[in-house]
Each structure stands twice: as structure tokens, then as C-alpha cells.
Amino acid sequence: MLRVEDLPKAERTSDAVFLEADARDRRVSEPEPEPRSEEGTKKWIDRMRYFLEVDPEGCWVAADGDEIVGFAISQNRGRVWYLATYGVLPGHQGRGIGKRLIDATLAHAGDRAGLFSSTVHPGATRRYRLAGFSLYPQMRMVGTVDRATLPAITGLDEGGEGDFGWMDELDERRRGAGHGPDHKYLLDNNRLVVSRRRGYVYIDGSGRPALLAAEDRETAEKLLWESLASSPGETLVNCITTANEWAVDVGLAARLDIGQEGYLALRGMPEPAPYLASGQFL
Ligand SMILES: CC(C)(COP(=O)(O)OP(=O)(O)OC[C@H]1O[C@@H](n2cnc3c(N)ncnc32)[C@H](O)[C@@H]1OP(=O)(O)O)[C@@H](O)C(=O)NCCC(=O)NCCS
């Protein structure tokens, strides 16, 4: 299991894993991936420390002597399990380490429903399907918002801790369990915008929607427009499955382009909608 003192080493491992994976999967039109910034490193460690505090038994690493060569960080929240991040160092891949790590997290999940955002890595997707997950291709909207397209939006407010109760009930309807303590973590790191009792969106520091849930399509569209309005330049709307084509339609209206990126892996639940999952908190 992961220990708090291993976090700096685990972070270095995670940076090396995803730098290599991003370079391999990069399309020619995309910029060369770069190592994580100092700020990114700090955020990663902070987030993993939080996961360790809330549900340490879902957090696993593989060690080779002093070195951490792999990690799988998952969490149980009520009746739902999610995988926040997972990787094995390139030089150690293909030897069964990844299987042992993911099996440890799945044992922790028990028979809970589950969800996470997956890369296209053939070893990863093989494991997920064999573990009973359905893989839903994810789209993403990318580009710079044409500000002339922004509609006037009414009925939205800044959210706060007092909103968590109804937000958890909405989460339960969308994905089988509330985000519970994750809402506080997300609020500390993002701006929260709500249509009270109808839907919410967390918007990150670069104006991207980090997690969006709504009762209906109209509310979801409004929340997404609000996110697009707050993006200062290039933006990205991630984790869009076909059941959430409303997000594609909003993105197209704002003159963003459709891209494709990995899968939303689900078991024991239908495709959440209207819903845009957060990559790490699902
Ligand atoms: C995905 C990852 C964690 C798997 O770790 P690993 O130690 O290489 O995995 P294993 O050796 O345990 O192999 C897992 C399964 O995939 C298969 N596999 C491994 N590499 C493969 C490849 N390149 N192509 C096809 N199958 C592959 C293995 O045969 C094994 O299946 P089996 O047990 O049914 O035989 C690792 O490759 C990785 O870090 N990839 C880059 C980051 C990433 O994509 N992470 C996933 C985020 S969702």
C-alpha cells in the first residue's frame, strides 16, 4: 500500500509514466508533451495525500528495492468505486506488475459499481474489459471559444459548502453515489457555479469545466456555456460520451472542434447523463 512518505517518489514515477505515454499517443498536430511543472508536481502530491487520508486501502504502489515502479490509486465512495490514476514505469511494463496493482484495487472495490477515465493503452483496456467494464469512447471539444457566440445566461449562482447536500443527491442519481468529501476538495481548488438544485459545474483555474452534473439538458447547457465564457483562450471540454452529445452541440456552437480521447470505463451503472466526469474524481 502507498505510504505518505512515498508520495514524492510516486510522483516522479507518475510523471515519467505519463510523459512517455503522452509522447507515444500524441497526434502530430499536438505539442510535444513536457515534464510536469513544479506547480503540477505539488498538486499531484496534494491530491494523492487527500486520497490516502480518505480511503488508504484503495491506494497501491509496486516497489523494486527503493524505487517505486508502479501505482494504482482508487477510492470507494458509498456504492461506487473509481480509479483516479494508474501506471507502471516503461522499463517495467508487460511483466504483470500492472495486473497485480489493478487486481489489488478491484479487490478493494468488491462488488461496487465503478467508473474511470481510461487511456487507449492496449494492456490497460484489456485488463478493464476482462474485469467487466464497458468502454465508452470519449470525445473532447478543443479550441478557442468564439466570444461572439456566447449567449446571455441567467439563473446561475456561485456555489458553496451549503450546496453539497443537494449536489450529492444529484450525483447519486447520475452515477450511483455522491462525491462526499471530494466536493470539499474540488471547491478548495476550483470555482463552483450552480443552478440551485438543478445542476453544478466546477471550473478550474484555466476556465475548463472539471466536473458537471445536471438534472436536465437545458441546465447542463447553461453550465457549460458559463464555463466557456470564463475561458481566457484555448479551452478543453473532456470526458464527453455519446449520451452527452448536448456538450458536443454547445462546443460546436462556440466554434470548438471535436477530438477523441480514450474511454469512460463503467460497470454496474448506465452511462451518466447529463454529466461530464472529472478525470480524477469521476
Ligand atoms: C497500463 C499499464 C499500467 C499496465 O501495466 P503493465 O505492468 O504493463 O501490465 P501487465 O504486464 O500486468 O499486463 C496487463 C495485461 O495487458 C497485456 N499487455 C501488456 N502490455 C500490452 C501491450 N503493449 N499490448 C497488448 N497487451 C498488453 C498483458 O498481457 C496483460 O494481460 P493478461 O494478464 O491477460 O496476459 C502500463 O502499461 C502503463 O503504465 N501504461 C501507460 C499509462 C497508462 O496508459 N495508464 C492507464 C491509465 S487508465
- Give pLDDT tens digits for 178-194: 999 999 999 999 999 99
Pair 240, 138: CB distance under 8 Å: yes
- Note the maximum CA span of the chain: 59
CB environment 234-246: b (16+ within 10 A), e (fewer): ebbbbbbbeebeb
* Closest atom of ligand 1 to CA, residue 97: 7
How far, in Å, CA of 238 to CA of 233, rounded?
A: 16
The rounded Å distance from CA 215 to ligand 1 centre is: 37
Q: Are residues 22 and 60 in the same domain?
A: yes
Q: How far is the CA of 37 from the centre of ligand 1 (A)?
A: 27
Kindly give the distance from the C-alpha atom of residue 164 to the centroid of ligand 1, in angstroms, as a whole number: 37
State which of 68, 95, 111 marks the end of a domain.
111
Q: What mean pLDDT, rounded, does the chain reach? A: 96
Alpha carbons 39 and 36: distance in angstroms, whole number: 8
Supply the CATH number for residue 11's domain: 3.40.630.30
Report the pLDDT value the prediction gives residue 266, as an integer from 0 to 100. 98
Residues 165, 66 within the same domain = no
Give the pLDDT score at 24. 83
Q: How far is the CA of 126 from the centre of ligand 1 (A)?
A: 8
Q: pLDDT band for position 40 (50/70/90)?
A: very high
Please report whether residue 281 resides in a domain. no
43 Cα: distance to centroid of ligand 1 (angstroms): 26
**249 and 197 both lie in a single domain:** yes
Cα atoms in the Cβ-side hemisphere of radius 13 Å centred on 97? 20
For residue 130, being part of any structural domain is answered with: no
User: For residue 212, what is the enclosing H or E element?
Assistant: strand 209-214
Same domain, 53 and 95: yes
- From CA 229, how far away is CA 250, in angstroms rounded? 12
CA distance 1 to 231: 39
241 in a domain, yes or no? yes
Same domain, 101 and 152: no
Is the alpha carbon torsion for 51, 55, 56, 61 positive or negative? negative
To test the pocket of ligand 1, the residue of 118, 127, 129 to mutate (highest count of ligand atoms within 8 Å of its CB) is 127
Ligand 1 atom 30, closest CA: 123
**Residue to mutate, 22, 83, 99, ligand 1, most ligand atoms under 8 Å from C-beta:** 99
Structure confidence by residue, pLDDT tens digits, 76-94: 999 999 999 999 999 999 9
Residue 68 sits in which domain range?
4-111
Say if residue 107 is in the same domain as residue 146.
no
- Residue 250's pLDDT is 98
Distance 57 CA to ligand 1 centre (A): 22
Hey, what's the cell of 267?
460497470
Name which residue leads in pLDDT, 174 or 131. Answer: 174
With a Cβ cut-off of 6 Å, ligand 1 is lined by: 17, 21, 86-88, 93-99, 118-119, 121-124, 126-127
Helix (H, G, I), strand (E, B) or coil at 18: helix
27 in the same domain as 86 = yes
Distances (CA, A) of 166 to 6, 122, 160, 196, 271: 37, 39, 12, 8, 21
| Residues 6 or more apart in contact with residue 46 via CB below 8 angstroms | none
Banded model confidence at residue 228, pLDDT cuts 50, 70, 90: very high
- Closest-CA residue, ligand 1 atom 12, reads 96
Q: Which atom of ligand 1 approaches the CA of 265 most closely?
A: 48
**In a domain? residue 212:** yes
Start-to-end CA span in the chain (Å): 22
Establish if 132 belongs to a structural domain.
no
255 and 163 share a domain? yes
C-alpha closest to that of 131 among 166, 161, 107, 167: 107
CATH label of the domain that carries residue 207: 3.40.630.90
Q: What pLDDT is attached to residue 30?
A: 76
Residue nearest to atom 39 of ligand 1 (CA): 87
Q: Tell whether the model's pLDDT for residue 275 goes beyond 90.
A: yes
> The sheet that has 275-276: what strands, in order across it?
157-158, 191-195, 199-203, 209-214, 275-276
Q: Do 30 and 70 sit in the same domain of this protein?
A: yes
What is the model's pLDDT at position 269?
97
State whether 255 and 150 are in the same domain. yes
Q: What is the pLDDT of residues 196-205, one digit of tens each?
A: 999 999 999 9
Which of 111, 126, 160 is the endpoint of a domain?
111
DSSP-derived 3-state class of residue 162: helix
Q: What percent of the chain has pLDDT over 70?
A: 100
Q: Is 136 part of any domain?
A: no
* Ligand 1 pocket test target in 83, 106, 126 with most atoms within 8 Å of CB: 126
Ligand 1 centroid to Cα of residue 20, in Å, is: 14
pLDDT for position 26? 77
Work out how many domains the chain is built from and give that number. Answer: 2
Q: What three-state secondary structure class fits 136?
A: strand
Residue 125 lies in a domain: no
Q: Give mean pLDDT, residues 238-246.
A: 98
**186 shares a domain with 78:** no
Three-state DSSP state, 237: strand
Nearest atom in ligand 1 to 96's CA: 12
Residue 133 domain-assigned (yes or no): no
Same-domain status, 169 and 82: no
